[in-house]
Amino acid sequence: MDTVAAAVERLDRLAATPRVHALATAFEKAGHELALVGGPVRDAFLGRAVNDYDFTTSATPDEILAIVTPLASATWDVGRDFGTIAARVDGETVEITTYRSDVYDGETRKPEVAFGDTLEGDLIRRDFTVNAMALRLPQRVLVDPSGGVEDLLAATLKTPGAAEDSFRDDPLRMMRAARFTSQLGFTVADDVRQAMTDRAQTLSIVSIERVNDELSKLLKTDDPVPGVRLLVETGIAALVLPELPATMLERDEHHHHKDVYEHSLTVLSQAIGYEKERHPGEAPDLTLRLAALLHDIGKPTTRRLEPGGVVTFHHHDVVGAKLAKKRLKALRYDNDTIASVYRLIELHLRFFGYTEGGWTDSAVRRYVRDAGPELERLHMLTRADVTTRNRRKADRLGFAYDDLEQRIAELREQEELDSLRPDLNGDQIQQILGLKPSREVGEAYRFLLELRTDEGPLGEEEATRRLLEWWSARS
């Protein structure tokens, strides 16, 4: 069965589902048009599962509410001013939007919202031709005014009208093009790429929250690398994530080093591979992916050309962690994500000391303690950071990390490694030293924690003896 015939069959099955049939019948009885639009229609041609039910209609928001309320277990406004009503029908969330024919002034993202009167007019204003198709209901007629089917078959991303005009209407569509490049495996048309390059700076008028959302969606695709490349090549990344294109370091005939930009993309891909291997079927780990992409952004600042053709990047881990924190704050990521990414980048080189000489149990404890809840992500990031083509070196690093993980597992069994605490708590310290809550109690606690990290569990009696010894020497 060819692709079009298979898609028609899938669309027929979709239209026949109870929720879609009930909505189509209700809108027809009320004298209004209804069509399944955008993603669900596109995904039917691609053979992908339908996760979102998006409809467009000739009905106004008030009329939509009146029609769907008898069918829905719940309804709510997700953008009444923009014509969108959401409802829970037959256990699934659906969104129904009045035909739109907005007018933009080209200077801001805020359009003058206007409702349209035809399905074709609504489709022409959409972002890409592959999203500008609809299935008119209940007739089950495919409406494709801009050749979306042909572009789907060619795996090409085009805009319904001139790309310049489309990106003037909504500059965020340029980032969406990068996301669809990764999500769908499509190639952008030449005029789309050129318009993205020419209009990259106009993305500055889009709210940071929307940019954040689109960047996150890109990174959560199965293979974000093609989309990330497109952002860099068109100059959009220079505005959104400037630290990344900055890793494209210049070389000269005397000094050689690994291509930091290409290395970063490889690490991102490999980290996703470890993530899927360890947590199959789970939601994408945005924190790990951000850390992998940004882990070496401290290198341009710390790059030093040494005699003999050696290039060094001393302390790029610490510098990179600070740069990532600053950038993610500017992109309005939440504090937990920022703190986790900071810690992962700060620690991503720590393991390489393990390969230079066997770590003591104390060093292993410190590694676990410093990583805290990010330990598993640190495992994946550190393994992904090995991109050498030297098979012997790669095997040596892999075996070393296997050994480290084994030692962590053994110590975890022996010592409650995940909840590393001193042998005495704060109350006991105060009682033994005759102190009230104070700075000195905190110092004593940290002293005992260092002992616990260095030497393992001591027991109450030995910890008390060592505490008194430390207190006497300190006094």
Of 194, 225, 240, which closes a domain?
240
Specify whether 172 is located in the same domain as 201: yes
Of 214, 240, 266, which closes a domain?
240
Task: Please report, for the domain that includes residue 228, its CATH number.
Answer: 1.10.110.30
- pLDDT at position 412, please? 74
* Amino acid sitting at position 169: D
- pLDDT at position 1, please? 39
- pLDDT at position 253, please? 46
Specify whether 342 is located in the same domain as 445: no
Q: Which one, of 368, 336, 338, 324, lies nearest residue 350 by Cα? A: 368
Specify whether 138 is located in the same domain as 5: yes
Specify whether 30 is located in the same domain as 91: yes
Distances (CA, A) of 311 to 256, 259, 298, 320: 7, 12, 14, 17
280: preceding bond cis by omega (within 30 degrees): no
CB atoms within 10 A of CB 130: 30
> Taking a C-beta distance cutoff of 8 angstroms, is the pair 50, 43 a contact?
yes
Task: Please report, for the domain that includes residue 408, its CATH number.
Answer: 1.10.3210
Specify whether 170 is located in the same domain as 149: no
Distances (CA, A) of 378 to 18, 263, 291, 292, 360: 47, 17, 10, 10, 19
Enter the tokens of residue 360. Answer: 């003591």
Cα radius of gyration rounded to whole Å, the chain: 29
* Amino acid sitting at position 125: R
Specify whether 270 is located in the same domain as 412: yes
What residues contact 104, with CB distance under 8 A and at least 6 apart?
111, 112, 168, 169, 170
What is the residue-level pLDDT of the chain in tens, covering all 475 positions?
356 788 888 888 888 889 899 999 999 999 999 999 989 999 988 888 877 889 999 999 999 999 999 999 999 887 767 788 999 998 889 999 999 875 555 555 555 566 778 999 999 999 999 999 999 999 999 999 999 999 999 999 999 999 999 999 899 999 999 999 999 999 999 999 999 999 999 999 999 999 999 999 999 999 999 999 999 999 999 999 999 999 997 554 444 556 899 999 999 999 999 999 999 999 999 999 999 999 999 999 998 887 777 788 889 999 999 999 999 999 999 999 999 999 999 999 988 777 666 778 888 888 888 898 899 999 999 999 998 888 888 888 888 888 888 888 887 776 655 556 788 888 898 999 888 888 888 888 888 888 887 777 888 898 899 889 888 888 6
- pLDDT at position 255, please? 45
**Phi, psi (deg, nearest 5) at residue 23:** -65, -45
Specify whether 358 is located in the same domain as 411: yes
Number of compact structural domains in the chain: 4
Task: Please report, for the domain that includes residue 142, its CATH number.
Answer: 3.30.460.10
Of 122, 154, 186, which closes a domain?
154
Specify whether 4 is located in the same domain as 44: yes
Q: How far is the C-alpha of 26 from the C-alpha of 49, rounded, in Å?
A: 25
Specify whether 192 is located in the same domain as 227: yes
Specify whether 46 is located in the same domain as 25: yes
Q: How far is the C-alpha of 276 from the C-alpha of 285, rounded, in Å?
A: 9
Collapsed DSSP state (helix, strand, coil) of residue 442: helix
Reduce the secondary structure of 68-121 to three states and give it as a string.
Answer: HHHHCCEEEEEEHHHCEEEEEECCEEEEEEECECCECCCCCCCCECCECCCHHH
The residue range of the domain holding 87 is 1-154
Q: How far is the C-alpha of 206 from the C-alpha of 130, rounded, in Å?
A: 23
Specify whether 372 is located in the same domain as 253: yes
Specify whether 255 is located in the same domain as 386: yes
- pLDDT at position 254, please? 42
